[in-house]
Structure 1
Amino acid sequence: MRATATENWQTAGEQYTLAAYGTLAGHEGFRREAFDGERTSAGTAVCHLVRAGLCYRLAGVEAAARNRAMQGALLAVDQKRVRDGVDAAACDELLGHCRTLASEAERATEAYDRAAAGYAAADVDDPAGATTRPLLQAGTDLVTHLSRPDDVGWDDIHGTGGDALQRRVRFVRSRVRELLAARVEARKLYAPRGSTEYGVDRFTCPDCGSHDVNYVAETVLCLRCNAVVEERS
């Protein structure tokens, strides 16, 4: 998180890459590896590779950005091989994100279309509940992360009705490319939103003066501008 806060994008790209590899092997988070049947970590790993690719793009290392996109795509395709139903469709959705990062718009659209068809064919009783499955939750977390500081929420992505999965695909098809482009234009990827607190007098952002903080990965960041904030003694 400090690498993104200090805008050391090369280091951030490397750290997200290593996080993806560690997640696949079950060394991160809840210690679940990629081929865990119900609680796979593969979606998180794919999304870390997308984050890594974006950071490399911000660092001006386009070859590495494309490599991470291709790694994520290969992982998504391989995971679909061992998944079915909603989870298989989620793999196509994740593939769409990787194709979008790689600037392969037509192939991204094809992947999102397959995801939409897969979600429809799965015909789940509780579409909103299905979004909490690990492969889908990872995708939601990626979209909300890319949207910062505007902070797109679950309802923005899924709506409130029974068409949560179809609305989700429509949202990511139209917005992920915009969100990635916005981060590149701003030359900034904010840290994901963790636990937040507002008007905390013991913290003052050295860059913008805000007292609103974001507690994430054992680091305290300014909620407004993402700078590292130290507690006043």
Structure 2
Amino acid sequence: MHTNDNGHYAATVAAIAERDYEAAGDASSRAGWSVLADPRDDHETFDTDDRGTIGDGLRHLLTAALCYRVAGLSARATRRATGGIAVAGDLGATMATPVQAACFDEFVADFRVAGGLDGAADAYTATAEAYRTAADETTDPQTVGATPLFLAAAAPAKQLARTLDNGEIAIEWEDLHGDDPADPGAFLAARAEFKRQRFPSLVDGCVAEGVLAAPRGTTEYATDHHRCPACGSRDVNWIADSTLCLRCSRPTDPQ
């Protein structure tokens, strides 16, 4: 489901490929603000929505904070995260179902980590409890977990993880969720519990490396038509308007 990012998401990916993470943070900020202001032509910001389209805006703001952290711009990361926390709190209180409100709480915890703010562990604990309280026998957690809001909340963690795992899928959908969908509260609470354990170390790892990979799009391995001039890989990742090396996220050249 595409949202109205006005081309700024593609600009974010292009800047990440050039390893200009400040520019990527700026572009991702603009993408977030664009989506929050006008998510889709058929959807207004504060409309109730069982799919949670507005989550894309928060994903872009969270990515912006991560880009600034990797760029060594901690103050900008903190400011972007603080703004994201305010927006997520407002959306959770005004247009969300109880289960969606818990997902907005999940974003809040992620923003705390991305911005280097205190209270992230407690925020994840509160989020897990919110999921347990919000979900009931009418909740289909597998369907909920596959809606745009929940996918948006999962995307930054996946992006961080692939950075540290040679571009591969390092966090599967199943890793983020519980084992038993018959217990929907625990199934969804596993997201917060997983992130409480992993998200801080993923952020710290990318900051230490000074690198953030592009998101993963359409991929092809061992191609005979592209070769990365930076690392020599022939594995390709097509994402947004960019053709990138699957391994190092640098632009890759056709052969």
Same fold per superposition (TM over 0.5): yes
Give the conservation status (yes or no) of the 8 Å contact 1:196–1:214.
yes
Give the conservation status (yes or no) of the 8 Å contact 1:32–1:40.
no
Letter of the aligned partner of 1:18 in structure 2?
Answer: R
Give the conservation status (yes or no) of the 8 Å contact 2:178–2:189.
no
**54, 62, 68: which one aligns with 1:56:** 68
Question: Are 1:76 and 2:117 an aligned pair?
Answer: no
Give the conservation status (yes or no) of the 8 Å contact 1:109–1:173.
yes
Structure 2: how far apart are the matches of 1:33 and 1:17? 19
Q: CA deviation at 1:94?
A: 0.6
User: Alignment length, in residue pairs?
Assistant: 230
Q: CA deviation at 1:33?
A: 4.3
**2:142 paired residue number:** 128
SS in 2 for 1:120: helix
**1:35 paired residue number:** 46
Structure 2: how far apart are the matches of 1:32 and 1:216? 25
Structure 2: how far apart are the matches of 1:122 and 1:101? 26
Structure 1: how far apart are the matches of 2:31 and 2:142? 28
Write out per-residue CA displacement over residues 100-147 of structure 1, whole angstroms, 9 at most, x where no aligned residue. 122234x22232222112211123432222212332221112221121
Q: CA deviation at 1:78?
A: 0.5
Give the conservation status (yes or no) of the 8 Å contact 2:105–2:123.
yes
Give the conservation status (yes or no) of the 8 Å contact 1:43–1:94.
no
Structure 1: gaps of 5 or more residues:
none
Residues 89 and 188 of structure 1: CA distance in aligned 2, closer, same or farther (over 3 Å)? same
Structure 2: gaps of 5 or more residues:
1-12
**1:17 paired residue number:** 29
Structure 2: how far apart are the matches of 1:31 and 1:153? 31
Under a length normalisation based on structure 2, what TM-score does the superposition of the two structures give? 0.84
Moved more, 110-119 or 93-102: 110-119
Under a length normalisation based on structure 1, what TM-score does the superposition of the two structures give? 0.91
Give the conservation status (yes or no) of the 8 Å contact 1:16–1:49.
yes
Question: Are 1:142 and 2:165 an aligned pair?
Answer: no
Letter of the aligned partner of 1:88 in structure 2?
Answer: A
Percent of matched pairs sharing the same residue: 36
**106, 112, 117: which one aligns with 1:104:** 117
Give the conservation status (yes or no) of the 8 Å contact 2:52–2:147.
no
SS in 2 for 1:190: coil
**2:221 paired residue number:** 198
**1:88 paired residue number:** 101
**209, 219, 224: which one aligns with 1:186:** 209
**1:158 paired residue number:** 177
Q: CA deviation at 1:211?
A: 0.8
**Runs of 4+ with >4 A deviation:** 30-33
Structure 1: how far apart are the matches of 2:228 and 2:218? 17
